[in-house]
Amino acid sequence: MAKLYFYYSAMNAGKTTALLQSAYNYRERGMRPMLFTPSVDDRYRVGVIQSRIGLTANAAVFDRATDLFETVRAELDRHSVHCVLVDEAQFLTRDQVFQLTEVVDRLSIPVLCFGLRTDFQGELFEGSRYLLAWADELEELKTICHTGRKATMVVRVDEHGYALQEGSQVEIGGNDRYVSVSRKEFKNVFIGGKRVKFIDPPAGAEAGEGAEPDEGLL
């Protein structure tokens, strides 16, 4: 039976890597996944999903006006679709999350969404709010704060490492702009004004960056 899944976490927990591994697993079994990525995510190239370890794949692009149910149904008229995978699912709208439930319930296609739960102010994203409410299965992907505790929140920082308290909810960036922290550390840096401690990535962490995307994953 098809289900709607939401895999959520703070940043740098391996969400995109897990998505691309899932896509690979489907293709390895002769099945065809359909991938989606938001148009606002242009860190690499629009329409390309890339993990921190360099895995890449082409994907269909969605914005706030995209009807995901109709997009999947149109694709289904041309090709088989065995699974739908959505990267950065926090950027979905309420209507789009509902459309994904329709993909599951009317088309019997499983949908796997991967995204952040909360923004840099500790508030739920719109997409995450309704995925938490409507998904059949929820799974937290875990990562670690520099304090050693489980990181459950994200802070946006300035060039000096201090947490920003105001700004647009959507601002694309990587490790130089966002840091995953525990709830306790979030209070220290967001409310208490403490400087965030940056952790340098291990040698070779960027291996594979710039690799050509896998054309077969869309």
Q: How far is CA 63 from CA 72, 100, 138, in A?
A: 15, 14, 24
Q: Which two tokens stand for residue 96?
A: 């789009």
List C-alpha distances in Å: 216 to 83, 88, 114. Answer: 14, 20, 20
Domains and CATH numbers, the chain: 4-142 (3.40.50.300)
What does the H/E/C string look like for 135-202?
CCEEEECCEECCCCCEECEEEEECCCCEECCCCCCCCCCCCCCEEEECHHHHHHHHHCCCECCCCCCC
- Predicted TM-score (pTM) of the model is 0.84
Residue 168 neighbours by CB distance under 10 Å: 8
CA 53 to CA 119: how far, in whole Å? 23
Which residues are catalytically annotated?
A: 88
- Can you give the pLDDT at residue 46? 79
Look-up of token digits 């088309």: 107
**Closest alpha carbon to 97 in 137, 128, 71, 59:** 128
- Rounded Cα–Cα distance for residues 206 and 72 (Å): 33
Q: CA 185, CA 140: separation in Å to the nearest integer?
A: 19
Tell me the pLDDT of the chain (218 aa) as tens digits: 899 999 999 988 889 999 999 999 999 999 999 999 999 876 667 788 988 887 889 999 999 999 999 999 999 999 999 999 999 999 999 999 999 999 999 999 999 999 999 999 999 999 999 999 999 999 999 999 989 999 999 998 887 778 887 665 656 544 457 889 999 999 988 877 777 765 554 444 444 444 445 544 45
pLDDT given for residue 19 in this prediction: 96
Q: Check the CA dihedral 60-64-69-74 and report its sign.
A: negative
Tally Cβ neighbours within 10 Å of residue 27.
16
Determine the pLDDT at residue 212: 47
Q: What is the pLDDT of residue 190?
A: 83
Q: What is the pLDDT of residue 172?
A: 55
**Predicted pLDDT at 171:** 61
Tokens of 51: 């993990």
Strands 153-156 and 178-181: antiparallel
CB 72 within 8 A of CB 106: no
**Predicted pLDDT of residue 198:** 59
- Tokens 């291990």 found at: 202
The predicted structure's pLDDT at residue 217? 45
pLDDT of res. 77: 94
